[in-house]
Amino acid sequence: MKKSIRKLRFERVSQNRLQRALDAIDSLENLSNKSNYDWNQTQIDKMSGVLMSRIKLVMASFGSTSPLERYNKLKEQDRIQYRLLKESDPEVYQLVSDDLKKHGHIPPSESDADIVSQFRELYIDLIERKTRHSIESNSMSERRFIVNPRFNTNRLIAKHNIDRLLWLGKKGRTYDEILSSDSLYCSHPDPAKRNPKANLKWDIDQGRVIEKISNSLSD
């Protein structure tokens, strides 16, 4: 059966936006480096609460027409998260289970396994994406990118393009620095174009930026 234009559009757009969301979430992990940032647990808990609540509310909005339906979807997401925790972190799962029983709450029964099975593929896919991202980051973290000396920056008009090349500077920036949340590669007038990986690739494709070849005699 041929898919409708709207269904094809959803599949295309949703995958692109999901990947951007995952990249943005992954970039938050860079903030955990105490060598570069100073933070306390209260700040992290607040950030986590905002992030988790926003994700749940957004996902609960799909196909929901009433507060009761959204509430039921939120409960279903909690059950799914609880069951997936058993696979991803059994020790924490046991602590949660014991705590629920201690306070008179009954953990989701094994009958919820059919719900979990619907999300197992997605869960595994997310873990694989995370692993691939980690491998890619590890292999590229120390690679440094600089402004192409042959590129005439006077050709640029847009301020955000000029600013990020100036931010690279003569010494350039590492891949990790470019992906960090305070990187100018995360800045763009269009919120949909604040993907540092995509912006770096664009600059490279346009001949504006090149990778600096390390030379132990001159570096």
Tens of pLDDT along 110-167?
455 555 555 555 555 655 555 555 545 555 667 888 988 888 888 888 898 999 999 9
State how far the Cα of 219 lies from the Cα of 87, in Å rounded to an integer. Answer: 47
Place of tokens 């898919």: 3
Please give the helix or strand (H or E) that residue 210 lies within, else none.
strand 209-211
Per-domain residue ranges of the chain: 42-139, 143-211
- Which pair of structure tokens corresponds to residue 76? 């279903």
Nearest to 198 by CA among 219, 183, 215, 218: 183
Beta-carbon contacts of residue 82 (< 8 Å; ≥ 6 apart): 93, 96, 107, 108
One-letter amino acid identity for 190? Answer: D
pLDDT at 217: 34
Q: How confident is the model at residue 35 (pLDDT cuts 50, 70, 90)?
A: confident
Q: How confident is the model at residue 50 (pLDDT cuts 50, 70, 90)?
A: confident
Q: Which long-range contacts (CB under 8 A, 24 or more apart) does 83-92 make?
A: 83/108, 83/112, 83/113, 83/115, 83/116, 84/116, 84/119, 84/123, 87/123, 88/123, 88/127
Pairing of strands 173-174, 144-147: antiparallel
pLDDT of 127? 54
- Cβ atoms of residues 26 and 130 within 8 Å: yes
Give me the pLDDT at residue 216, please: 36
Average pLDDT value for residue range 83-97 = 79
pLDDT for residue 218: 39
Which pLDDT score is estimated for 8?
A: 87
- Is the pLDDT score of 219 beyond 50? no
